[in-house]
Amino acid sequence: MNHTLRQVFRSGKFVVGFSIFTTILLTVLIYPLIIPDSPLAIIGQGTFFPPGIYVNVYDSIEAPHYTLNLDAAIEKRIASKLNDEDRLAMKEWLIAAGLSESEIDTTDTVQLLDQWVNHYDPAKPIPGLTNAKRNYFIRLNNALEGLLSTEGVSLAVKNPETGALEEVGVIEQSAYANINQVASVRVLPLGTDNFGRDVLTELVTATRVSLQIGFVAGIVATMIGLTLGLLAGYVGGLVDDIIMFVTNLFIVIPGFVLLILISFSLGQEQRGAVTVAVVIGLTSWVWTAKAVRAQVVSLRNRDHVNLSKLSGHSVGRIILVDILPYIASYVVMALILQISSAILAEAGLSILGLGPRTTEVPTLGLMMNWAMIYQAQILGKWWAYLPVLITIALIAFSMNLMNTGLDQVFNPTLRD
Amino acid sequence: MSNVMLDVRELTTKYVTRFQEDVYAVDHVSLKVEEGKSLGIAGESGCGKSTLALSLMGYYFPPLHYMSGDIIIDGKNISGMKPDDVRKSVLGKEIAYIPQAAMNALNPTQKIIHFIEDVLKAHDLYLTKADIHKRAQTLFENLGLPAEVLQKYPVELSGGMKQRTVIAVSVLLFPKVLIADEPSSALDVTSQKMVIKMLRQLMEVGFISSMIFITHELPLLYNVVDDIMVMYAGQIVEKGTSDEVVFDPIHPYAKGLMGSIIVPEEGLRDVKLTAIPGVPPNLKKPPTGCRFAERCKYVRPECRVNPIPMREIGNGRAYRCLIPEHELREIYAREAQPHGR
Amino acid sequence: MKGYRKYFLNKLVWFLITLVFAFVLNFILPRLMPGDPVAAIVARLAQGVSNSTGVQAIYQQYAEQFGTNKPILEQFFLYMQNVMRGDFGFSFSQYPRTVADVIGSSIGWTLALQFPAIIVGWLIGNTLGALAAYLKGSFDKVIMPVSIFVSSLPAFGVAVIMLVIFGVQLQWFPTSGGYGFDLIPSLSSTFIWSVIVHYQLPFWSIVLIAIGGQAIGMRSMSIYELNADYVKYSRFMGIKDSTIVGYVFRNAMLPQITGLALSVGTMVGGALVAEIIFSYPGLGFTLLNGVLGQDYPLISAATLIITIMVLSANFIIEILYGVIDPRIKAAQSD
């Protein structure tokens, strides 16, 4: 046993897969301890807030202000107001006004502004310039003039008695607040989803739930498969024929169809996470049963088994002591595969809308479902679905790796 | 002086393992087989017999690499030839190989006759299908195989039948040298007998000019081949006629090998079976001196120092040991004295 | 040809048995569950007052046609009768369309999309796997990890990624529908072109999904075969490598065909999800709508049709296998 373990951990593929998987597992277990927020709490009013650090603007006014004179500040401020379209428009106008193209660099904000200020004349006739365009340039110019001033913004508060606005302070353009001193700051590394929930917290919980579903389903399926396989393989005869007949039937009939039928018929009320897991387990035991049976059949006539039979040991004992240890490796591999496919099955079910109840816990599949329904992909809100996809892929990938690694350890012929 | 069909001089080939280590499985092996004669190669598993057989074919595939030496078949030196030439003109034509466990040597989804067609086509023999069929049929009938085998798939034939089919296919082009690698090891006794008979017949009828028979089953060799070579750890340790090697072995290893055979004859009870203790050396780092030194009863300090050359004692008899022949014979004679008398 | 008869008969009988079993399951399973949809329909009928008369009519019609108040066995026979006639009742969610109508209009899209895609994916996957085994070296080192990764991606993952990259970012292809929204189905070239354009993303997504698993399997099979004894023997008899490669791949293909037969079910499942992601008007989408609309007759019929599709595909492939593997012919002939 020890020797096997050592061999297993020497297999490159297994170690990589195992590390990825344990990292995910640890994250899932430790994260809630650090951030105890409820995953389904709606914190964003509005949909799909992009990832970033959210600073409470109100609090930042109250926080102590520091004056920083940064060269790049003005540029950045203007740059954020001037998008590419505007710059290209400015360039167009400047060229039409007589400047040569090589002199104009739309990426150099200061220089561009300079040229604009020096040359812009709303009265100048430009051939082909429509009225709409002309107005556009006038507006642009006005906006730019505002940009170049160095005046701060006034802070006013309504006088409760007169109703008039009274100035209580000025916020200079060079005023900075230290983020650590702002009362309320929230980091949303993955933004919010369509409901306004913190995607990262949701993701971690969803991963945990999906993993739980996967484990339960995997264990259910493996137990069923193991039992049936053992019975069919060891007892043989009529029992074998019956079990094999049933198994073959279930192999051809697509499991997901049964899954859909059962899940739908259960109805939303009944579909807790555990129920879904059990249902998945009940529809995916087929391959494990077949594989276990094949192994048991080949073990059935081995010498040590025959010896036990001759010694008069009971069937139960023979199965436990003589057969089980030899198929243990296959069972472990089957379990890993079952867990992995169960997680994927849950995701598929959720996308169809047949997954676990949506009000209790999120699952990876449910997150995908929501993203899809609210068209996250088409809107380009990648944070709502890409992290989920990557997590699913990582889980499946790490389990596949572990399985391939184990396979190579137990079947030396497959080693490359 | 009859024709020398196969002349191998100082052939050395190596395996390169996954970890880029060299294993010299065939180390400066020299042998000669004359027309009409058969040579047996005996030795324990892992001594390099099969590798030798593969090396003799002249067609090398990773991880097997050719290092040095010459292979001359009926006067033609094939060691320097380009692989494609070797494939077209040598393989199957000059020298043919019957693999171990020949049952699996046939493509399971191909009829025997189609395989034969492919073989003949590969050697640029432009025969019509009808000719090929006729040729195959005649060959099979001559060798005592029913012609309907040609139309069957390997799965429809018994183990013994498959083996004999493989032998028949191997001699399709009437090769000068036929190498049979453990042709009967995987068979039951009756099939074994038929296979041996068939091989003998091939020589008698002249379908092949010479044969090399590789086996670890010593009792078999005596009845089949004219000369015997004993291999150990990639080297030849004794050469001679069958009679000489079996009944009068010189090299301690050969002596031990012959001593471990049960021969159901008179006086069996008085003969003690000897087993040779220990295991063959690791060919990745072969010992500097005699490779048998670890297990040899008569080992002396000088044995482990330098590589041991073959000692020729005339008439093709040779052995690889530092101890002079007469000394070894004395030792053996003393040991053969029954105890307690 | 006589040899085939036994094999063919064998497979046919099996096909029919599984078909019957599928019908029974499709009928029984929903009624065994705690949320039995048929019982719910009966209950709704009994209530009478809580629903608008329109909805009442729908349930009424279902109850009459499928005899929800009769004993189970009678219900089953009624059900079978109806199905044989191709009558699945009215769709709850798309009343007054019949279920048969809804399915009929979507099954064509699914068949046209999935089966070519699965076959193409299978072919490409096997070729890649075979090449990886034969060429070894850097080709193999690249193909292997990529295949493992792609096959770990769930079906919808591949579909979403394709959608985002080619549909949204690069805008090469439309992201939903079977054809342009503004077009009416006709045989005009604009319509046909639109169909082709909309076909691309779902098609290639399914192909990719199919490739992933196949490449790895074929590579393992090929490596196994390439090391087989008959390869060495053929070499030693002087047969050219190119001929030998032909032997090897023919032999490695056979288990792959069987593998395809067994995995066609899973592949179809993945393909259905891909359809949903692309809002492609096939059975997947129909199923989704059925679930959203609590449309039991639609779901029941859709799952049945899908099952029959898979069983038929499985049957056809098994027959094909019998034709291709020469040993089947031989083994049966005596």
Mapping DSSP onto H, E and C, the string for A302-369 reads CHHHHHHHHCCCCHHHHHHHHHHHHHHHHHHHHHHHHHHHHHHHHHHHHHHCCCCCCCCCCCHHHHHH
Residues sharing a CB contact under 8 Å with residue B319, sequence separation 6 or more, in sequence order: B237, B238, B239, B250, B251, B254, B310, B311, B313, B325
The predicted structure's pLDDT at residue B274:
66
The predicted structure's pLDDT at residue B186:
72
C306 touches A250 (CB < 8 A): no
The predicted structure's pLDDT at residue B273:
66
In the predicted structure, residue A191 carries a pLDDT above the cut 50: yes
- Arithmetic mean of pLDDT, B17-37: 80
Distance from C277 to chain A by nearest Cα, in Å?
7
User: What is the Cα–Cα distance from B207 to B178, expressed in whole angstroms?
Assistant: 10
Scan for tokens 């007052």, then name that residue. Answer: C49
Q: Does C147 touch chain A (CB under 8 A)?
A: no
C60 touches A287 (CB < 8 A): no
A227 touches A344 (CB < 8 A): no
Residues of B in contact with C239 (CB under 8 A): 118-119, 122
In the predicted structure, residue A149 carries a pLDDT above the cut 70: no
User: What is the Cα–Cα distance from B271 to A174, expressed in whole angstroms?
Assistant: 110
Residues of C in contact with B153 (CB under 8 A): 326-327, 330
DSSP-assigned beta bridge partners for residue A157: A166
In the predicted structure, residue C192 carries a pLDDT above the cut 70: yes
**Strand, helix or coil for residue C53:** helix
Distance from C186 to chain A by nearest Cα, in Å?
28
Split at pLDDT 50, 70, 90, the class of B268 is low
Which residue out of A20, A21, A261, A382 would a mutagenesis test of the C interface target, given it has the greatest number of C Cβ atoms within 10 Å?
A: A261
Which residue out of C21, C92, C151, C156 would a mutagenesis test of the A interface target, given it has the greatest number of A Cβ atoms within 10 Å?
A: C156
In the predicted structure, residue B245 carries a pLDDT above the cut 70: yes
Distance from A19 to chain C by nearest Cα, in Å?
16
Asked if C251 and B105 come within 8 Å (Cβ–Cβ), the reply is: no
B108 touches B50 (CB < 8 A): no
Evaluate the CA torsion angle C57, C60, C65, C66 in order and state its sign: positive
Asked if C327 and B87 come within 8 Å (Cβ–Cβ), the reply is: no
User: What is the Cα–Cα distance from B105 to C239, expressed in whole angstroms?
Assistant: 13
In the predicted structure, residue B85 carries a pLDDT above the cut 70: yes
Residues of A in contact with C313 (CB under 8 A): none
Asked if A389 and C160 come within 8 Å (Cβ–Cβ), the reply is: yes
The predicted structure's pLDDT at residue C217:
79
Per-residue buried b or exposed e for B184-216, using 16+ beta carbons within 10 Å of the residue's own CB:
bebbeeebbebbbebbeebbeeebbbbbbbbbb
Q: Which of A90-104, B25-39, B142-156, B268-282 has the lowest mean pLDDT?
A: B268-282
Q: The tokens of A180 are what?
A: 């650590």
Chain segment C87-113, per-residue pLDDT in tens: 777 777 777 778 888 888 888 888 888
Give the relative orientation of helices C241-277 and A255-270 as an angle to the nearest 10 degrees: 20
Distance from B37 to chain C by nearest Cα, in Å?
23
Distance from B50 to chain C by nearest Cα, in Å?
13
Chain segment B181-239, per-residue pLDDT in tens: 887 777 788 888 888 888 888 888 888 888 888 887 777 788 888 888 888 888 888 88
User: What is the Cα–Cα distance from A299 to A305, expressed in whole angstroms?
Assistant: 8
Evaluate the CA torsion angle A188, A193, A198, A204 in order and state its sign: negative
CB-count burial class (<10 Å; 0-12, 13-18, 19+) for A29: exposed
In the predicted structure, residue C50 carries a pLDDT above the cut 60: no
Q: Does C331 touch chain B (CB under 8 A)?
A: yes
Split at pLDDT 50, 70, 90, the class of A147 is low
User: What is the Cα–Cα distance from C179 to C185, expressed in whole angstroms?
Assistant: 8
Q: Does A397 touch chain C (CB under 8 A)?
A: yes
**Dihedral pair phi/psi, residue B171, rounded to 5°:** -100, 10
Residue closest to B136 by CA, chosen among B106, B108, B165: B165
- Arithmetic mean of pLDDT, C246-256: 83
The predicted structure's pLDDT at residue C2:
58
Which residue out of C221, C236, C241, C321 would a mutagenesis test of the B interface target, given it has the greatest number of B Cβ atoms within 10 Å?
A: C236
Higher pLDDT, A308 or B268: A308
- How do B177-181 and B95-98 pair as beta strands? parallel
DSSP letter string, A166-202: EEEEEE-TTEEE-GGGSS-EEEETT-B-TTSBBHHHH
Comparing CB atoms, the residue among B105, B108, B122 nearest residue C238 is B122
User: What is the Cα–Cα distance from A357 to A369, expressed in whole angstroms?
Assistant: 12
C 83-142 residues with CB < 8 A to A: none
**Strand, helix or coil for residue A116:** helix
| Whether residue B63 has a cis bond before it, omega within 30° of 0 | yes
Split at pLDDT 50, 70, 90, the class of B67 is confident
Which amino acid is present at A21? Answer: F
The predicted structure's pLDDT at residue A221:
92
pLDDT > 70 fraction of chain C, expressed in percent and rounded: 93
User: What is the Cα–Cα distance from A390 to A405, expressed in whole angstroms?
Assistant: 22
Asked if C307 and A253 come within 8 Å (Cβ–Cβ), the reply is: yes
Chain segment B288-299, per-residue pLDDT in tens: 888 888 888 888
How many other C-beta atoms can be found within 10 angstroms of the C-beta atom of residue A200? Answer: 21
Per-residue buried b or exposed e for C244-253, using 16+ beta carbons within 10 Å of the residue's own CB:
beebbbbbbb
Distance from C333 to chain B by nearest Cα, in Å?
11
Q: Which of A41-55, A133-147, C233-247 has the lowest mean pLDDT?
A: A133-147
C93 touches C302 (CB < 8 A): no
Split at pLDDT 50, 70, 90, the class of B1 is very low
Comparing CB atoms, the residue among B104, B109, B166 nearest residue C251 is B109
- Arithmetic mean of pLDDT, B308-317: 82
Scan for tokens 């085939």, then name that residue. Answer: C4
In the predicted structure, residue A1 carries a pLDDT above the cut 70: no
Distance from B20 to chain C by nearest Cα, in Å?
16
Chain B: list its partners (3+ Cβ pairs within 8 Å).
C
The predicted structure's pLDDT at residue A261:
85
The predicted structure's pLDDT at residue A216:
92
Q: Does C148 touch chain A (CB under 8 A)?
A: yes
Q: Does A373 touch chain C (CB under 8 A)?
A: no
| Whether residue C96 has a cis bond before it, omega within 30° of 0 | yes
User: What is the Cα–Cα distance from B193 to B7, expressed in whole angstroms?
Assistant: 29
Residues sharing a CB contact under 8 Å with residue B324, sequence separation 6 or more, in sequence order: none
- Arithmetic mean of pLDDT, A272-301: 85
User: What is the Cα–Cα distance from A283 to A276, expressed in whole angstroms?
Assistant: 11
Higher pLDDT, C222 or A127: C222
CA A414 to chain centre: 34
User: What is the Cα–Cα distance from C50 to A333, expressed in whole angstroms?
Assistant: 53
Split at pLDDT 50, 70, 90, the class of A220 is very high
- Arithmetic mean of pLDDT, A85-92: 78
User: What is the Cα–Cα distance from B319 to B240, expressed in whole angstroms?
Assistant: 9
Comparing CB atoms, the residue among C33, C265, C272 nearest residue A252 is C265
Gyration radius (Cα) of chain C, Å: 24
Residues sharing a CB contact under 8 Å with residue C110, sequence separation 6 or more, in sequence order: C272, C275, C282, C283, C284, C309
Residues sharing a CB contact under 8 Å with residue B293, sequence separation 6 or more, in sequence order: B287, B299, B303, B304
Distance from C152 to chain A by nearest Cα, in Å?
5
B130 touches B212 (CB < 8 A): no
Scan for tokens 């428009």, then name that residue. Answer: A89
Split at pLDDT 50, 70, 90, the class of B340 is very low
Asked if C233 and B111 come within 8 Å (Cβ–Cβ), the reply is: no
User: Across chain C, how many H-helices and E-strands are there?
Assistant: 13, 0
Which residue out of C25, C160, C227 would a mutagenesis test of the A interface target, given it has the greatest number of A Cβ atoms within 10 Å?
A: C160
- Arithmetic mean of pLDDT, C307-329: 84
Higher pLDDT, C122 or C140: C122
How many other C-beta atoms can be found within 10 angstroms of the C-beta atom of residue A292? Answer: 26
User: What is the Cα–Cα distance from A51 to A41, expressed in whole angstroms?
Assistant: 17
- What is the number of residues in chain C? 334
C 177-216 residues with CB < 8 A to A: none
Residues of C in contact with A253 (CB under 8 A): 18, 21-22, 25, 265, 307, 310-311
Split at pLDDT 50, 70, 90, the class of B264 is low
Both ends of chain C: CA-CA distance in Å? 12
- Arithmetic mean of pLDDT, C18-34: 84
Count the helix, strand and coil residues of chain B and give each as a percent rounded to the nearest 5. 35, 20, 40
The predicted structure's pLDDT at residue A215:
92
Query: Does the complex come out with an ipTM higher than 0.85?
Result: no
Evaluate the CA torsion angle A25, A31, A36, A38 in order and state its sign: negative
Scan for tokens 């040095």, then name that residue. Answer: B68
Chain A: list its partners (3+ Cβ pairs within 8 Å).
C
- Arithmetic mean of pLDDT, A213-231: 91
In the predicted structure, residue A416 carries a pLDDT above the cut 60: no
Give the relative orientation of helices C189-226 and C241-277 as an angle to the nearest 10 degrees: 130
In the predicted structure, residue C334 carries a pLDDT above the cut 50: no
Higher pLDDT, A240 or C332: A240
User: What is the Cα–Cα distance from C29 to B36, expressed in whole angstroms?
Assistant: 78
Distance from C251 to chain B by nearest Cα, in Å?
7
Asked if C310 and A249 come within 8 Å (Cβ–Cβ), the reply is: no
**Dihedral pair phi/psi, residue A197, rounded to 5°:** -95, 150
The predicted structure's pLDDT at residue C57:
72
Which chain C residue has its CA at the smallest distance from B121's CA?
A: C239
